[in-house]
Amino acid sequence: MLAWYEATGRPLAFRATSDPYAVLVSELMAQQTQALRAAESWTAWMVRFPTVLALAEAPVAEVLRAWAGLGYNRRAVALHRAARVIVEEHGGEVPASVPELEALPGVGPYTARAVAAIAFGMPVGAVDTNVRRVLGRVVAGGAEGFTPASMQALADAVVPAGRAGAWTHALMDVGARVCKPAKPLCADCPASTWCRYAAGERPVGERPAAAEVSGAGDRRPHPRFETTNRWLRGRILKQARDADNEAWIPYVEPIGVHGAHAVREAVAALASEGMLEAREAADGPEARLPR
Q: What is the pLDDT of residues 172-190, one digit of tens each?
A: 999 999 999 999 999 999 9
pLDDT of residue 161: 93
Residue where one domain finishes, among candidates 102, 122, 142: 122
Between these two residues, 150 and 238, which has the higher pLDDT value? 150
pLDDT of residue 206: 52
CB 261 within 8 A of CB 228: no
How many CB atoms within 10 Å of residue 133? 19
- What is the number of domains present in the chain? 2
* pTM value surpassing 0.85: no
Residue where one domain finishes, among candidates 122, 149, 178: 122
Pairing of strands 277-280, 249-250: unpaired
Q: Which range (120-124, 134-138, 276-280) has the least confidence?
A: 276-280
Residue range 20-41: average pLDDT?
Answer: 90
Closest CA to 126 of 80, 86, 158, 81: 158
Three-state DSSP at 179 gives coil
pLDDT of residue 291: 78
Domain residues for the domain of 268 are: 225-288
pLDDT of residue 207: 52
- pLDDT surpasses 50 at 213: no
Residues catalogued as catalytic: 27
- How far apart are the C-alpha atoms of 197 and 204, rounded to whole Å? 12
CB 239 within 8 A of CB 273: no
- The percent of residues above 90 in pLDDT, for the chain, comes to 60
CB 116 within 8 A of CB 97: yes
pLDDT of residue 219: 57
Residue where one domain finishes, among candidates 101, 122, 143: 122
